């Protein structure tokens, strides 16, 4: 086989479809988020980032950075091994205690990313619980899908957020068959939120274990940032709560929080935990400072919600279509990969506004969009510039607007 020709041909295919991924090279500036420098063709451009998942700007928080500096100086750069082989640092243990407390669980277990925590956590449970059948929401994240696939357990897909469909599918199995229901709280592309209480009612009725991904909710919702399940007083009814330290907490890493035995079970059997170098202690310390801070400070969450509200209202005033949802994610719908890319390029080149186009397979074909994530570090001036630029491009491209309410 001519491997190189094959690679070229496949890449030409995605280019033709308009979904070839071009990374934007930026350097974010601490103290100046969401502003950054873009590197392009040997030149630089000052830009405003409107698509970061560092939702609260915690990546530049003084407490987080100080904690990281301190531990970097105290412990050095890396963990020095897998957790089994000399890599368990005091700061991993402290962070796990903080996370267990955040979710009101006995234990927590750290992974190198949210992706790995889903893949290893879900994969290990589904593979090791004898005869387990997994019920997976149709819009679950790739990391959950891959974990379930890896487990080789029987998998049933239930209609997105459709509790009746879940109930019907669970009822097809004998009461004593082990069942695991996997879903998210905030779905990151549409920004919709799962009916968690209803899902738990159905799972309890059928004796199913529950696994929730709160990656786009931890830090952001609930009085201590424990996620939507905390806000709704449901954490104690959920078997496993999974989260990331890479989004609202502004650092890196993933985790599950659950009973001591469940975490110990995953710790003992998950290859994605056992056979990989642990997170650098400085990152664990930064994440720990971030989690601790957001347990006690509501200011970031309040300002975040206020900025989201302002951006949505301004889009509505101009009739720029965006998916309505109860979360902090604002998907501005374009519906064509080429157009989406052109709009994104135009915003960047003409206004220094960075919003990454979102294409298949991240969203279905025909649902291409600009995913805008306002944050507490966007100013009124940043919002004005975003809205003016979007309105401009909407007019230039004669894109459809919604009726504007009088």
Q: What residues are annotated to the active site?
A: 247
Piece of the chain touching ligand PLP by CB under 6 A; list 126-134, 213-221, 334-342, 385-393: 213-221
Interface pick for ligand PLP out of 55, 115, 221, 255 (rule CB under 6 A): 115
- For position 118 contacting ligand PLP by CB under 6 A, the verdict is yes
**Exactly one of 83, 141, 328, 341 binds ligand PLP (CB under 6 A); which one?**
141
371 near ligand PLP, judged by CB under 6 A: no
Q: What is the size of the binding site for ligand PLP (CB under 6 A)?
A: 14
Question: Beta partners for 184?
Answer: 213
Shortest CB 389 distance to ligand PLP, Å: 26
Angstrom distance (rounded) from CA 77 to CA 43: 32
Q: Which segment (108-116, 127-135, 154-162, 228-236) binds ligand PLP by CB under 6 A?
A: 108-116
From the CB of 136, what's the least distance to ligand PLP, in Å? 12
Phi first, then psi: give them for residue 231, nearest 5 degrees: -55, -35
The span from the CA of 234 to the CA of 372, in Å, is: 29
Question: 291, 114, 136: which is closest to 199 by C-alpha?
Answer: 136
Binding mask 147-186 for ligand PLP (x = CB under 6 A): -------------------------------------x--
Greatest extent of the chain over all pairs of C-alpha atoms, in Å: 66
**Closest residue to bound ligand PLP by CB:** 114
| Burial class of residue 395 (count of CB atoms within 10 Å of its CB; 0-12, 13-18, 19+) | exposed
The stretch among 57-65, 112-120, 129-137, 298-306 that binds ligand PLP (CB under 6 A) is 112-120
- Answer for which of 34, 57, 114, 226 binds ligand PLP (CB under 6 A) is 114
Q: Which stretch binds ligand PLP (CB under 6 A): 2-10, 209-217, 265-273, 383-391?
A: 209-217
In this structure, are strands 254-258 and 107-111 parallel, antiparallel, or unpaired?
Answer: antiparallel
d(C-alpha 210, C-alpha 63), whole Å:
34
Among 143, 151, 169, 290, binds ligand PLP (CB under 6 A): 143
Find the binding residues for ligand PLP in span 236-255 (CB under 6 A).
244, 246, 254
Closer residue to ligand PLP, CB minimum distance, 115 or 354: 115
- Label each residue of 100-111 as H, E or C: HHHCCCCEEEEE
Short-list 169, 181, 82, 95, CA closest to 140: 181
**What is the three-class DSSP state of 234?**
coil
Based on the shown chain and the rule CB under 6 A, indicate whether residue 213 belongs to the binding site for ligand PLP. yes
Could you tell me if 242 and 215 are in contact, meaning their C-beta atoms sit under 8 angstroms apart? Answer: yes
Distances (CA, A) of 399 to 262, 334, 335, 341, 392: 51, 8, 11, 14, 10
SS3 291: helix
Q: Which residue has the tokens 């969450």?
A: 301
Contact set for ligand PLP, span 180-199 (CB under 6 A):
184, 188
Binding part of the chain for ligand PLP, among 20-28, 211-219, 331-339, 341-349 by CB under 6 A, reads 211-219
How many angstroms separate the Cα of 389 from the Cα of each of 304, 324, 377, 378, 395?
A: 22, 21, 19, 15, 10
Give the footprint of ligand PLP on this chain (CB under 6 A).
Answer: 113-115, 118, 141, 143, 184, 188, 213, 215-216, 244, 246, 254
């Amino acid at each position: 086989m001519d491997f190189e020709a094959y690679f070229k041909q496949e890449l030409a295919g995605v280019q033709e479809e308009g979904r070839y991924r071009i990374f934007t090279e930026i350097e974010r500036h601490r103290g100046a988020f969401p502003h950054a420098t873009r590197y392009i063709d040997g030149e630089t451009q000052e830009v405003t980032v409107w698509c970061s998942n560092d939702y609260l700007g915690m990546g530049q928080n003084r407490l987080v950075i100080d904690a990281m500096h301190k531990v970097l100086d105290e412990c050095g750069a890396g963990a020095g091994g897998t957790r089994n082989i000399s890599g368990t640092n005091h700061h991993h243990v402290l962070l796990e205690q903080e996370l267990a407390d955040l979710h009101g669980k006995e234990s927590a277990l750290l992974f190198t990313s949210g992706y790995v925590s889903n893949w290893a956590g879900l994969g290990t449970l589904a593979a090791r619980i004898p005869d387990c059948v997994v019920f997976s929401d149709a819009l679950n994240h790739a990391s959950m899908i891959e974990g379930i696939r890896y487990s080789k357990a029987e998998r049933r897909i239930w209609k997105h957020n459709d509790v009746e469909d879940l109930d019907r599918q669970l009822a097809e199995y004998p009461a004593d068959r082990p069942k695991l229901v996997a879903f998210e709280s905030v779905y990151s592309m549409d920004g919709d939120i799962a009916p968690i209480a209803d899902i738990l009612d159905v799972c309890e009725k059928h004796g199913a274990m529950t696994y929730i991904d709160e990656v786009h909710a931890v830090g952001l919702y609930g009085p201590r940032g424990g996620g939507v399940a905390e806000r709704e007083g449901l954490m104690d009814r959920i078997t496993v709560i999974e989260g990331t330290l890479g989004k609202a907490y502004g650092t890196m890493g993933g985790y599950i929080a659950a009973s001591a035995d469940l975490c110990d079970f995953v710790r003992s059997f998950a290859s994605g935990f056992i056979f990989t170098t642990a997170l650098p202690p400085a990152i664990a310390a930064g994440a720990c400072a971030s989690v601790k801070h957001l347990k006690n400070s509501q200011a970031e969450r309040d300002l975040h919600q206020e900025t989201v509200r302002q951006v949505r209202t301004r889009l509505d005033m101009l009739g720029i279509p965006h998916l309505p949802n109860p979360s902090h994610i604002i998907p501005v719908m374009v519906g064509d990969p080429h157009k989406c890319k052109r709009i994104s390029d135009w915003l960047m080149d003409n206004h220094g506004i960075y919003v990454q186009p979102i294409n298949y397979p991240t969203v279905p074909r025909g649902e291409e969009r600009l995913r805008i994530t306002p944050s507490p570090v966007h100013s009124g001036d940043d919002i004005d510039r975003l809205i003016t630029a979007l309105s401009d491009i909407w007019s230039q491209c004669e894109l459809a607007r919604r009726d504007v309410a009088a």
